[in-house]
Structure 1
């Protein structure tokens, strides 16, 4: 009897422990793997979600406005913390804030963190968002990396020319001094007065608050701790040794020390990451003690875990939402507009050298010429060819809308009526195809290949729809479809070999500039890939409006520029806009506190409780 009594007590305590663990733990199951825990390397939502729990910025966008975080104020003209016509920003640094290791936040930590982001500047990373406002322009253009100024100051052709081949050792004193002077261009932007950090911009940059708000590169580190881990030592005369590291050699790749509501308990790469409540958190401890993100690739497994209460939040493809909506104790919240726009790209000047995707390279029925999509009638024909409503219904299951331009609906500058969206009208499509190239397109037909990246199912379906309807209206219209792994796809995209392709653009920055500039500017990340015909046209028609939008802090004046950019893009059929996805959330009914924030990469476990 005593033996069974002891077993019963142990079992009771064990079950009680499970109840406590379930009550004090939030579990999310998702598919995206975490790549890094270093905010300055991070440029993906899976890593961003983890970093959001651990690190914090000076400010944070709450879905409607900027709110103070490690700064006690949001700088404004009204209270005198934005000066010099918008080029000086004063941040009052919050006092008594603890890092997870017990260190106290200082203004020096803030300056070190922002400077590190700029010198870190890994290839393809997020540091351009801080580089644009903080570096002086070169020949009137924003600078995206410290490399550009180092190259200019040294008078060499490329960044690699500054170093002994295969090393990070400067070739000579001139090269070393150029590297040091490049750093000084940003170091002089920062000033510390008492507990204030004052940032002096070399030029007006209206979305500056949005730039430092982003989880991609704007997080504040503990300077002393970071240096102890082997990160940049804060000096001007060796920063290049810490510039653009490989991911695994980044000393902060898998270790953390932030001021956020959770500290890192453990990270089992490819499996799960566990966060533990930080009880000295300046806003007060989180309501749950642990938060866990598990990587579970099978939807059926995620669904069963949600039903059983083993998971509180799960990822699910849109086509499975109806399966989930009727499950007891499960909520499906949907219809939240995202900061993402997906488009089909018309390359107006195609690189024809050894290009297998344009057939003969001529308008002879067996190919297309390199300037095929420079013809506005061709672009208009494809706009009316595409079944926009069918696409949203069949592949997005209604969880997306057809955009009327490059601006998401939640940003200022978006206008729901101007321009309207295109719709499928095969009569108009035929009319434009017959006008193109003086009737030669309709008479001879064409042949080319649309390419999408492997795994992009929404893109694949869009390609198939274009192929089907093109063949339907004219059997001489022959379109082939090919998929490529992302690395090959990106290589062909950069080389401008792809005549047409689907790609999405999005981010966690709440300002329309970060959509207008990439889509519409001649030097934009996306616009530049459309080819010379577009970039020459954009220099005259789009660049002045993009530039004008950056000359004022007045959101109404800026909005007018962005609206006009959208109208011009619509009237000239620059892109075939496919979708702006709608966000949704699947969670247990007993989970409380969830709110939607379009700039947040995933969950904010601090808000949640049971």
Structure 2
């Protein structure tokens, strides 16, 4: 009788395995379809579950700790002891790993890191996650790019940029360009193989905002992003990409990260209800 039971179990196991239609495919049933694959727009769980796997950040949490960090795309975690946190907590230096490839085949450079954070700040969509970075860089003085711009220029953003996303006057264009050159650009700079962040004031949660699982701090492939229609990296015209909808973003479905998984296809018609 025992031999018969063992035989039945083996037969059932064989039949079960034989019925697997795609043994090389892993299917994950999520709570919803992602809202977007643009890490600077995404602020929902379904989107983040994808982005966590295709993008990487400068640092990540060490093991299961929520207080200690490990390098990810940076070769070191900045500390006061190693001299990479300076000026009383206002300056953070991140040496960038070499030889890392994006899924596009492009090589990671410090310029990609600078582009990623500048693009994030300029993108700042209403109700999105970038307000946390703006608060960090401004010492919590501002939580939106538009308020930040108004403090710099003396005029509301809506008076500088019209509904057609064009400057309302030559003077407004000069203010918009000046805002990038004088305010945004100095925040993230490249020196050799280092990326240097400058904060207005020390900000305790800064490292937590940069760590993996914070999609807003994902490192983008700048060449790929620009080629697909994202902000071109120039001071003149950045406002065309500010506060756009998910579908308007060129990175809504275009993805090139350095994570362990590469996006092959997002077939939105296949979602099940």
2:106 corresponding residue in structure 1: 103
**Counterpart position of 2:256:** 257
Q: TM-score by structure 1 length?
A: 0.40
Pairwise mapping of residues 577-588 of structure 1 onto structure 2 (< 5 A)? none
Residue aligning to 1:76 = 79
Quote the Cα distance in structure 1 between the aligned partners of 2:52 and 2:230: 20
> What is the CA distance between 1:74 and its match in structure 2?
1.1
Corresponding residue for residue 45 of structure 2? 45
Q: CA deviation at 1:148?
A: 1.3
DSSP 3-state at the match of 1:89: strand
Deviation at 1:172, TM superposition (A): 1.8
Deviations 1:535-584 (A, max 9, x none): xxxxxxxxxxxxxxxxxxxxxxxxxxxxxxxxxxxxxxxxxxxxxxxxxx
Partner of 2:91: 88
Distance 1:257 1:17, change over 3 A: farther
Query: Alignment partner of 1:192: what SS?
Result: strand
- Counterpart secondary structure, 2:216: coil
1: CA distance between counterparts of 2:260 and 2:75?
Answer: 17
Q: Partner of 1:150: helix, strand, or coil? A: helix
Residue number in structure 2 paired with 1:247: 246
Shift of 1:270: 5.8
Q: What is the aligned partner in structure 1 of residue 132 from structure 2?
A: 129
Cα deviation digits, residues 396-424 of structure 1 (max 9, x gap): xxxxxxxxxxxxxxxxxxxxxxxxxxxxx
Q: Distance in 2 between matches of 1:147 and 1:173?
A: 19
Shift of 1:154: 2.8
State the shift of 1:181 in Å. Answer: 2.5
Aligned counterpart, 2:64: 63
Greater relative contact order (Cα < 8 A, sep 6+): 2
Deviation sequence 1:434-459 (CA, Å, 0-9, x none): xxxxxxxxxxxxxxxxxxxxxxxxxx
1:150–1:181 Cα contact (<8 Å) kept: no
CA offset digits 1:221-244 (Å, max 9, x no partner): 111110000000001121101101
Distance 1:153 1:79 in 2: 35
Q: 1:177 aligns with which of 174, 178, 181?
A: 174
Larger radius of gyration: 1
Distance 1:109 1:144 in 2: 24
Contact 1:34-1:270 at 8 Å conserved across structures: no
TM-score, normalised to structure 2, is 0.86
Question: The residue matched to 1:169 in structure 2 has which SS?
Answer: coil
Note the residue ranges of structure 1 that are not aligned, 5 or more in a row.
1-14, 273-294, 298-610
- Answer yes or no: is the 8 Å Cα contact 1:59–1:71 preserved in 2: yes
In the alignment, which residue of structure 2 is the partner of 1:31? 31
Show CA shifts across 1:579-607 (max 9, x none): xxxxxxxxxxxxxxxxxxxxxxxxxxxxx
CA distance in 1, matches of 2:150, 2:191: 33
Kept in 1, the 8 Å contact 2:52–2:215? The answer is no
Q: Distance in 1 between matches of 2:43 and 2:27?
A: 23
**Distance in 2, Cα, partners of 1:116 & 1:163:** 18
Contact 1:170 1:176 in 2 (8 A): yes
CA distance in 2, matches of 1:182, 1:134: 15
Once the two structures are superposed, residues 155-190 of structure 1 have per-residue CA deviations (whole angstroms, 9 ceiling, x without a partner) of: 22x3211123x2211122332222222223121022
8 Å CA contact 1:119–1:243 kept in 2: the answer is yes
Q: 2:208 aligns with which of 207, 210, 224?
A: 210
Query: Structure 1 residues 254, 78: CA separation in 2 closer, same or farther (over 3 Å shift)?
Result: same
Please tell me the root mean square deviation across aligned C-alpha atoms, in Å: 2.0
1:204-262 residue CA offsets vs partner (Å, 9 max, x unmatched): 11111111224331111111110000000001121101101121111110111110111
- Equivalent residue runs for 1:515-534 within 5 Å: none
Alpha-carbon distance between aligned partners in 1 of 2:152 and 2:193, rounded to the nearest angstrom = 34
Larger proportion of strand: 1
Quick one: distance in 2 between partners of 1:36 and 1:195?
31
CA distance in structure 2 between the partners assigned to 1:146 and 1:178 by the alignment: 14
Match of 1:191 in 2: 189
Give the CA deviation at 1:143. Answer: 1.1
Q: How does 1:433-582 map to 2 (within 5 A)?
A: none
Query: How far apart, in 1, do the equivalents of 2:82 and 2:238 lie?
Result: 36
Say whether residues 1:112 and 2:115 are aligned partners.
yes
Aligned to 1:420: none
Q: In 2, distance between residues paired with 1:229 and 1:197? A: 25
Distance in 1 of aligned mates of 2:245 and 2:106 = 28
Q: How does 1:163-312 map to 2 (within 5 A)?
A: 163-164=161-162, 166-184=163-181, 185-213=183-211, 214-269=213-268, 271=270, 295=272, 297=273
**Kept in 1: contact 2:115–2:233 (CA 8 A):** yes
Per the TM alignment, residue 17 of structure 1 is displaced from its structure 2 partner at its CA by 11
Contact 1:146–1:183, Cα closer than 8 Å, also in 2: no
Query: In the alignment, is the contact (CA less than 8 A) between 1:190 and 1:200 conserved in 2?
Result: yes
